[in-house]
Amino acid sequence: MSWMSPKERFATCVAHKQPDRPPIQFYTTPEFEAKLQERFPGQNLLEVLEVDFRTVGVPRKKPLRQPEPGSPVAYYDEWGVGYIRQSYGFGEYLEAYELPFANMHTLKEVEDYPWPSVDDYDFSHLKEDCKAIGDYVVCFGGAGIPDIINGVSRGRGMEQVLIDILTEDEVGVAIIDHRVEFYYQLVKRGLEAADGLVDVLCLGEDLGNQLGPMVSPEVFDRFFRPRLQKFYDLGHQYGCKVMMHSCGSTRKLQPRFVEMGLDILDAMQPEPVGMNPEEIKREVGDKLTLCGLISTQKTLPFGTVDDCIAEAKHRVEVVGKDGGYIFAPSHCIQPNTPVDNVLAAYEVVTGKKLR
């Protein structure tokens, strides 16, 4: 089969036809990226790994709140959540520390809160940024949009957000819907500004854990489906394929994703209950493009080079048969992962020597 450009390869893949090779995506932590960069000094890692995707975004015009001197808070996000840097021995994450929604009990408190505005962002260069990407696949958005469970939890607490959803607490739902509406308007403005040059609208909602869905299919239909559906429809309105990140076991929800018109399910993990790649390929793989399935929990960090090669070959040859598969790690590659394991996996799909 003749060589395809990234855009051609992606279009063929999501049409569930066989491309020259699966499109390639790459997700990493800063610590692992630094290790990989040491192996390829001065080189663009996306080019080294032949990644087919590039992401565009919109910068903030309005500065974020700055931490007070001496405060343990390292960073405030646009929602006013304060984060501290938490070390886990071999890596560091920003963890929510100041939760501004945790003690909201009235609708007035919600309405009086200084919510971010889409006008805080600059969309003026987005179209040119898309053009500059050339033949790569242009992505806009990210796993934090709308990210109801995780995103609101950082400002209110995970347990409370799940209670809010299950009981439809009016205060909790109002907080959630402020976030959903903000991101809907941000995406809409972005797609308008890009003028048809975005290929993939990237979304996220972590609907699974290791044992199954975070919520029942009935709760998904009642609460999540209408809120996510409008994002899917918006992306399709502007000619995009729609990709949604979801960690964990989403097996029971995947038929619903298909019904809703989702094009790509991203960051698919092979380890959780029900996430057998071959079974999912047979059930929904002719309609839903699967992205991920290279294990960041087991194979990449703890397997041998041969284990990584075998898993990569299975994904390319079995899951990727007749298209509908994007080669990617199942999540961000963690700092303790051997570089050679990752390079061995990517050698399978690129066909070139990386080690």
Instruction: Look up the CATH number of the domain holding residue 207.
Output: 3.20.20.210
- Read off the pLDDT band of 51 (50, 70, 90): very high
Domain presence at residue 79? no
pLDDT > 70 in the chain, percent: 100
Q: What is the pLDDT of residue 310?
A: 98
Domain presence at residue 165? yes
Per residue in 264-294, pLDDT tens? 999 999 999 999 999 999 999 999 999 999 9
**Amino acid symbol at 190:** G
Q: What is the pLDDT of residue 230?
A: 98
Q: What is the pLDDT of residue 119?
A: 97
Domain presence at residue 183? yes
Parallel/antiparallel/unpaired status of strands 82-87 and 92-98: antiparallel
Number of domains within the chain:
1
Domain presence at residue 171? yes
Task: Look up tokens 């990493």; give the residue.
Answer: 28
Domain presence at residue 81? no
Question: In whole angstroms, what is the distance from residue 341 CA to residue 326 CA?
Answer: 19
Give the residue numbers spanning the domain of 18: 6-62+100-350
Domain presence at residue 118? yes
Per residue in 193-202, pLDDT tens? 999 999 999 9
Domain presence at residue 260? yes
Q: What is the pLDDT of residue 2?
A: 80
Which residues are 75's β-sheet partners?
83
Q: What is the pLDDT of residue 66?
A: 96
Q: What is the pLDDT of residue 1?
A: 66
Domain presence at residue 297? yes
Q: Rounded to the nearest 10 degrees, what angle do helices 148-156 and 170-194 cross at?
A: 120
Q: And the tokens for 217?
A: 């299919």
Question: In whole angstroms, what is the distance from residue 206 CA to residue 247 CA?
Answer: 5
In this prediction the pTM is: 0.96
